[in-house]
Amino acid sequence: MESLNVAFGHRLWWVDAFIGEGERGNPAVVVLLERPMEDHDLQQIAFELGVSETAFVRRIGDGWSLRWFTPSVEVDLCGHATLATLHVLLNELGVPGGELFFQTRSGVLSGRRLNDGLLGVDLPRAYVEPVDPGVLGNTLGPLQEAYQAGASSVLAVVRDYETLCGLSVDTLGLFLVPSSLVIAVCEGGPGVDVAIRVFAPRLGLAEDPVTGSAMCAVAPWWADRTGAPTLSVRQASARGGVMHARLFEKNVEVAGLTRTFFGGDLRA
């Protein structure tokens, strides 16, 4: 019996982030690393798990190291997987509340509990600049306006919610757009200020279910348009999701509801 291997490896949790009434949110798997792992091993685990993002979190001093992988690549920023990681630390592992800090490829991010069961994470604000809608060709159909949002996102404004839901998307054409995220946005939507859809074929995601990092661009766009620093957002994907955002000088606080779907052990 002394030779029996009872080490189960790293713990993991499947968490749905940005859920709502009837909205299933975006699933992320959060893996608690007990020791460093090679990048190719992390990528293989993300490929096996197959969700839009797998978050790998590890204790580093008084904070946490956090990395995000799609099934095909590591990404610089992921909002829903950061919210899912905060959920795991606070609700599954019982890490004391207050401000939690994450060392990431996008700098130090922070997160906290808010009112009404919401969790909030701070993501880096993007600065939006108008661009010729022709940069997107006819990949989304007719557009009213377009904006470059930082180095890796394009914001495409469509007429209304009905137009947004009925977009005829040219996925191959979107792959040729020089941006990681293409965010289609409109004013209004059921019970919210703004509605969006997000496409990321360059990251291996034809359409993302709910995209917290899109708020880095949508919140500044909304503030420029209306003067309002806060907004509610519905992502009109098959799973659906609801987000709340608050704009600050250098960051956007993105908030939502979360739930654990299941937990287990990674035998790797």
116 to each of 7, 119, 185, how far by Cα in Å?
38, 9, 27
CA distance 169 to 173: 9
Cα-Cα-Cα-Cα dihedral sign, residues 115, 118, 119, 121:
negative
Residue whose C-alpha is closest to residue 62's, from 32, 103, 93, 30: 103
Show Cβ contacts of residue 61 under 8 Å, excluding neighbours closer than 6 positions. Answer: none
Known active-site residue 53:
yes
Burial class of residue 74 (count of CB atoms within 10 Å of its CB; 0-12, 13-18, 19+): middle
* The one catalytic residue among 23, 53, 207, 253: 53
Q: Kind and range of the H or E element at 163?
A: helix 161-165
Q: Kind and range of the H or E element at 65?
A: strand 63-69
Q: How do strand 107-113 and strand 119-124 relate by DSSP bridges? A: antiparallel
Compute the radius of gyration of the chain from its Cα atoms.
Answer: 18
30: amino acid identity, one letter: V
Catalytically active residues, by annotation: 53
